[in-house]
Structure 1
């Protein structure tokens, strides 16, 4: 659809320009840090960082009903950068120019109603959001799209040519990270740490097939995680586990898509999601709270 056919009040909003004032904010001491570096824990107190938009209130100047129209009409815009999770650009990472967005077709996975027999067995009506249809067959692609878009952006800003992307994994994270790293080409080298003997050949196939260097480490996942955390704290590497705040931003898209799928009427929903290190549930709660704060939804679902 040509933009000239859109409602007049949203024509200037459908194709967004970069905006916002993003910082890393420490969950421990509350201090803000600039986003012009690859940073994963607070340099002062070593607590976890999340990303905050200090100019968030600018988005409140646009009524929630108008935001609904923007996101709904944007689905038919022929702009590759807005086809994936960045359909919700202003809510995820509006500081990243559209030309730096990395989209491999993640997001917008179907919400499928369970069949009658399964609903009878469970005792209620329920739906499944099939994130197995993401590029690497995992919800992790949502976070990787955001994280690698930032990596792509910061590499251009700083003229970086050789970035090491690392993660610890037992399957999904490594597959997703290796896929998105491969898309950026030779300037990003992907290294995956897996616990020796704890990963199936099928789980090894995806990172290896995407050109990652796979290292099997004696021990369990936590032992692998300690190594990548040490690397991230002491060397300029791109950490791609859930401690990467940009991954949390991308996984917020789960909430935005659910709201859109149910016509922004989610007050009677109970939303359930997988939890490991709590990155995904953090993102889901954050996403719905943002929608509520902007008046895009009138009430919050139960999480």
Structure 2
């Protein structure tokens, strides 16, 4: 990714071009939901197939490379999960120490396990993600550690390459880009990427940016911070997004919208993606699809439009949600006749 788009990224001859194969994620065409919504085409951008299972790798590869370029020996982040997993992995590749601060009880275990197995020092802090981010921003000014949250501008620069890839594969920008909104760095990054390609005449249009927050963690929708955000979508359980202003700018300049979806709508989209599209994602990812479905239900005319939904993280990140699905499992004895009966074939 760094090599492919180096002419559009802030890299120098001193930037270590260490990669784990991030970027180049597929655009999967919908086989079911597209028809239900009357779209010309619907694609899922499977950022869940990045090396650590989320979109965070796009920004982290650049943020940590630049930290190494600047002489850093350690990195630190606050995280709801995916950032910690990515930071810990890329720190290992560069031989750095990773420090991770997570909100106690508000992180999916799959993500915490990733950071732990990569050897990060982890502190589970009382309070919310927003509290943790406030603390790490202060720590980064007091100690010799590089902050690699999305307030680090290199994170946004790396993540904008997702927009480049969409245009490169489709031949132009889609009419609609649907994306979950938590800390709001990703909607900021995608809009920057589409704008840059448009200015370079590599795209003839820019999409409307449709961002979706969980109803229990929807500060941008409500117009004020949420002190105690709550949602099953832990990746976007954020009450005071660091990139709030930039997300509003992306929404307004694109003629888009930022709306809320309920946990029930998120889980419905989560199940539909898995059972109808063969896409297993974490609940936060499903917010992009849940939001698109809700907009159609509320009267948005999608006919003739191409939409791309960003699938931000892998379903294995949040095994508890997956294990809550009612599985169609039956027992049988160890013989053909018993298995046939269990299958309903006899």
Q: Same fold (TM over 0.5)?
A: yes
Pairing 1:148–2:64 present: yes
Name the CA distance, whole Å, in 2 between partners of 1:234 and 1:126. Answer: 47
Shift in Å, 1:97: 4.1
User: Which residue of the partner structure matches residue 121 of structure 1?
Assistant: 36
Unaligned runs of 5+ in 1: 1-83
**Alpha-carbon contact 1:92-1:252 (below 8 Å) kept:** no
User: Which residue of the partner structure matches residue 197 of structure 1?
Assistant: 105
Shift in Å, 1:294: 1.6
User: Which residue of the partner structure matches residue 212 of structure 1?
Assistant: 120
User: Which residue of the partner structure matches residue 288 of structure 1?
Assistant: 194
Q: Which runs of 4+ in 1 moved over 6 A?
A: none
SS where residue 193 of structure 1 aligns? strand
**Alpha-carbon contact 1:112-1:128 (below 8 Å) kept:** yes
Shift in Å, 1:259: 0.8
- Number of equivalent positions: 208
**Alpha-carbon contact 2:76-2:99 (below 8 Å) kept:** yes
Shift in Å, 1:96: 4.7
| Counterparts in 2 of 1:198 and 1:164: CA distance versus 1, 3 Å | same
SS where residue 126 of structure 1 aligns? strand
Pairing 1:171–2:81 present: yes
State TM-score, norm by structure 1.
Answer: 0.65
SS where residue 179 of structure 2 aligns? coil
Match 1:300 to one of 206, 214, 218:
206
User: Which residue of the partner structure matches residue 92 of structure 1?
Assistant: 9
Larger RCO, structures 1/2 (Cα 8 Å, 6+ apart) = 2
Name the CA distance, whole Å, in 1 between partners of 2:103 and 2:55. Answer: 22
Match 2:51 to one of 126, 135, 138:
135
Q: Which has the larger radius of gyration?
A: 2
Unaligned runs of 5+ in 2: 210-346
Task: Provide the aligned C-alpha RMSD in A.
Answer: 1.6
| Counterparts in 2 of 1:85 and 1:128: CA distance versus 1, 3 Å | farther
Please give the residue correspondences for 1:20-39 in structure 2 after superposition, counting only pairs within 5 Å.
none
**Alpha-carbon contact 1:85-1:108 (below 8 Å) kept:** no
**Alpha-carbon contact 2:2-2:17 (below 8 Å) kept:** no
**Alpha-carbon contact 1:96-1:150 (below 8 Å) kept:** no
SS where residue 208 of structure 2 aligns? coil
1:207-262 CA deviation, whole Å, 9 max, x = no partner?
00101011111112112111101112333321111100000000010111011001
